[in-house]
Structure 1
C-alpha cells in the first residue's frame, strides 16, 4: 500500500469514526440516555457491536460535558468453547473497571428445553435477569447494550412476521419493575459502519457460536431481506427506522392506542379546508331539498 492509499484509508476511517461518535452522541441526547453521575454498565459479549459501543463510550466520556462512569461487564454463560481469557486481557489493556460474571445459563437451557425446540426465549430471560440483578449489585444506573439500527429494524419485522406484533427495540427502556434502565447507544448506527470500524480497530472479536436456533435462523432470513432491499433502494432501512420514530396511532388498528369505538360525528365547529370545493351533481333521482346547505353551517 503506497502513501496515497494510506492517506485515503486514514481519511475514510476518520470520517467513519466521526460519524459513529456523532450518531451515538445524538442518540444519547435525543433519549437522555446518560445523565450526570451515571454509572453505565456496558455489556460486552465479545462481538463487534459491543466492542464498538464500549470504545465509543470511553471516548465520548473524555469529552462529555457531564461526569459518568463506564464499567465493562461480560456474562460468561459457560457455552462450550468460549475463550474465557480474551475479554479480561482486553479490559486490562484498556485499564478500565470490569467484571466477568459467571452464570451457567447454557446448562439450564439445555436441561429445560427439548432438543430441536427454540431456546431463545428462556436464554434471553435468564441473561436479562442476571444482568438486571448484577446492575443493582454494583450500583449501575444504566445498562448499555450494543444493539444498532439494523438490529432494531430486524426485530420489528421478526415480531411482525413471527409474533403478529408491531414491536421493535426501544432506544431506552425501563424494566417492568422500574429498578433498571436499559439504553442502546448505537441506535442510530448502521451495522455496515460498525463492521468497518471493528476491522480497523482490530477488536479481539470472539466468533459467534450461537446455537442455530429457530429465532436466529428467522433473524438471518430477515437480515438477508433487508440487505436486498437496501441494495435495490439505498436508504430504505434508514427510512423504515425513521417510521418507527414517527408513529400515527389513529392510522393503525390498535384499539388500546387509539379509541376507534368512540368517534362521534361533530359538525358544529369550523370546517377544515378540504382539497376540493363542493362536487357538482350531474345526475340524481333524489330531491335536492333533502341536502343540508353546509355553506350556511
Structure 2
C-alpha cells in the first residue's frame, strides 16, 4: 500500500471527526442559547463521573470557552465515593493533561449506602441523593453559579417514558432548573445531543473511561427496557425519536387533562380556545439533520445574560 493510499482514509477520518465535533458544538451552543444557560462571569462546575457523557461535556465547554462572546470559568469536579476498585489517578491525570482547574471530593458514601440498602437491592436512589447533597454543598461553599451535568437528549426522552409508564406523570429532565432550596441552577448543555454521537466522539477522543459498575449495584432494568424500546423504534422508524423530542417543547395544555395547567372549568362559548376535535392530526416529516461546516454558529449563539 502506497503513502497516497493511506492518506485518503486518514483524511476522510479527520473530516468525519471534524463534522462530528462541530455538530456537537452546534447542539451545545444552541441549547445554551435557547435556555440562557451561561452568562457573563459564570463559574461553572462541570460534574465529571469518568463516563463518556461528562468527558464530552467538559471537552465541548472548554472548546466553546475559548471563543465564546462571554467570559466564564470552568472547574471540573469529581466525587470519589470510595467504591472498591475505583482508579483514583485516572481523572486527576487526565484533567492535568488538558489543563482545566479541578477538584476531587472524597466522601465515603459507598459504605453509607451499603450499610442501609439490603444486599441485591438497587442502591442508585440513595446514592444519587447523597451525591446531590455533597455537590450542592461544595458548590455553595465555592461560589459556583451553575452546575453542569452530562445528561443528553436520549436521557431526557428515556426519563419522559419512565415517568409516564411507571410514575403516571408527563415529566422529564429539564435542560435548566433551580434546586428545591432555590440556591443552585443546574444546566444540561448536552440536552440536544444524541447519545450515539457522544459515544462516537468519546471513542475517537480516547477518553479514559471509568466503568460505571464499580459499586456492584443492579442496573436500572426499567430504564434499560425503555432504552431498548427507543433504539428499536429508531431502527424501524427513522425520525421518530426526533419527533418525540420535539414534542417535549411543543405542548398544548388545553388538549391534555391537567386542570392545574388549563382552566377547563371556566371554558365557555365566550372562550377563545378553539376546538380541533375533527381536525386531522398534525403529522410532519421529521427534520433531516445535516452537517454544518460553519463552526461560528455554535459559538456566537451563546448569549450575554
Show the counterpart of 2:154.
150
Q: Distance in 2 between matches of 1:272 and 1:155?
A: 31
Q: TM-score, normalised by structure 1?
A: 0.87
Runs of 4+ in structure 1 deviating by more than 6 angstroms, as ranges, are 271-276
- Residue 258 in 1 paired to residue 262 in 2? yes
Q: Report Cα offsets for 1:58-80 as digits up to 9, x if no partner.
A: 00000000000000000111111
Greater mean deviation of Cα atoms: 125-134 or 42-51: 125-134
Show the counterpart of 1:10.
14
Task: State the aligned residue count.
Answer: 273
Q: Distance in 2 between matches of 1:190 and 1:198?
A: 12
Q: Distance in 2 between matches of 1:58 and 1:143?
A: 15
Report deviation, 1:253: 1.3
Q: Distance in 2 between matches of 1:171 and 1:19?
A: 18
Show the counterpart of 2:44.
40
* Counterparts in 2 of 1:254 and 1:5: CA distance versus 1, 3 Å: same
Gaps of 5+ in 2: 280-305
Q: Report Cα offsets for 1:192-231 as digits up to 9, x if no partner.
A: 10011011111011112154436x1211111111000001
- Residue 219 in 1 paired to residue 223 in 2? yes
Show the counterpart of 2:94.
90
The secondary structure found in structure 2 opposite 1:195 is helix
Q: Distance in 2 between matches of 1:35 and 1:251?
A: 36
Show the counterpart of 2:252.
248
Report deviation, 1:272: 9.5
Structure with larger RCO (C-alpha < 8 A, sep 6+): 2
Q: TM-score, normalised by structure 2?
A: 0.85
* Counterparts in 2 of 1:163 and 1:274: CA distance versus 1, 3 Å: closer
Gaps of 5+ in 1: 277-297
Show the counterpart of 1:112.
116
Contact 2:122 2:217 in 1 (8 A): no
Matches within 5 A, 1:45-60: 45-60=49-64
* Counterparts in 2 of 1:265 and 1:110: CA distance versus 1, 3 Å: same
Contact 2:120 2:217 in 1 (8 A): no
Greater mean deviation of Cα atoms: 33-42 or 98-107: 98-107
Matches within 5 A, 1:262-277: 262-266=266-270
